[in-house]
Amino acid sequence: MKQYPSPEECIRLLEQNGCSEEVINHCKAVRDIAMKIAKKANADLKLVETAALLHDIGRSKTHDIRHAVEGVKIAEKLGLPDEIIRIIEKHIGAGISTDEAKKLGLPPKDYIPVTLEEKIVCHADNLVENHKRQNIEKEIERALFKGQKEHARRLVILHKELCDICDCDLNKI
C-alpha cells in the first residue's frame, strides 16, 4: 500500500507553502465531499483524501487557472507521488482540453481527469464554492453565464458519470 501524507501533514504543507486560511478551509470542504463520493464509488480513500486536501496548493502562488500548474511545481518539489500530482494538475474545471489550455495560457496539454480518483476530486471541487456546499446546477449556470458551453457540458457529463457509479444523486450526499 502506498504511503501518502496524513491529513495533518497535508494541512501543514498547505500552511508552509503560504496558503491562506480560506484556501485551507476550501480544501477541507472539498475533502469532506470527495470522501463521501469516494466511499460510495469504492475509490482509493487515502489517495482521494490526500489529493483533495492538496488540490489547491498552487493557490499559494496564484488564484487564476494557472494555480494547477503552480501546484504541480510545488508538489514535485515536495516529492509527492505521481498520482497526487496528476490530481492537482487535472482538478481544474471539469477538465480542460489541449485546445482550451492553449487559449487559457496553460501549457498545451490535456487536463481532463481520467482515473476515478481524479474525477472524484475534480467534481468535489465543483461542488464547493469557497468552503460551502453547492449543487452542480449552480456551477453549470455559472459556466453558461460566462459563455463556457464546453465547460458546462463536461460538468454535466462528469456529474452524471459519478452519480451512476455511486448510484445516487451527488447533489444530495
Task: Please give the tally of structural domains in the chain.
Answer: 1
Q: What is the CATH number of the domain that holds 136?
A: 1.10.3210
How far apart CA 112 and CA 97 sit, in angstroms, is 6
Question: What is the total residue count of the chain?
Answer: 173
Give the Cα separation of 80 and 74 in Å (integer): 9
The answer to whether position 161 is within a domain reads yes
Name the pLDDT band for 1 (thresholds 50, 70, 90). Answer: low
Cβ neighbours of 33 (radius 10 Å):
21
Tens digits of residue pLDDT in 28-77? 999 999 999 999 999 999 999 999 999 999 999 999 999 999 999 999 99
- Full residue range of the structural domain in which residue 57 is found: 7-172
DSSP at 93: B
Average pLDDT of the chain? 96
Instruction: Give a yes or no: residue 2 inside a domain.
Output: no
Digit-coded pLDDT (tens) for 128-161? 999 999 999 999 999 999 999 999 999 999 999 9
Cβ atoms of 115 and 83 within 8 Å: the answer is yes
